Amino acid sequence: MARSAKTVSIRHLHAAVKTALEAAKRQHPDFKIDPVAASGTVILPIYVRFPWICGLPPFPWPESELQNITAFTDSFVANLASNEHISSAALDGKFERTVYASGGTVSIGFVPADFSLTE
């Protein structure tokens, strides 16, 4: 049996990540993350490293505050899960939180399915 290809629009994924991040920041007002480009404008990059993570790329975060980033990530991923446009990006249809910490930086997101991005 042939496997059906899963695709997600990069525009839908970007909009979902932006909305989920804004909602999670409202739920956790002490959390500060605003990725800034060299030009000084606020940007929101998306990090996809199949099969490990889909979410935000590494940003500085103190290791002593990992429990706070975990709670924030739970909110972020719950908000992503409510967006039906990106449901095929979730592994087995379930948005499972993942946090990667290394050397004072963390990446947050969910465990992705094998999907491709479209315009």
Mean pLDDT of the chain: 86
CB-based contacts of 60, cutoff 8 Å, min separation 6: 104, 105
pLDDT category, 37, cuts 50, 70, 90?
A: low
If one compares 28 and 31, the residue with the highest pLDDT of the two is 28
Distances in whole angstroms, Cα of residue 14 to Cα of each of 10, 43, 104: 6, 11, 25
CA 110 to chain centre: 6
Distances in whole angstroms, Cα of residue 55 to Cα of each of 4, 82, 92: 23, 15, 17
* pTM, two decimal places: 0.85
- 81's tokens: 């899960």
If one compares 24 and 35, the residue with the highest pLDDT of the two is 24
CA dist., res. 75 & res. 60, Å (int): 19
Per-domain boundaries in the chain: 7-118
Predicted confidence (pLDDT) at residue 112 exceeds the cutoff of 50: yes
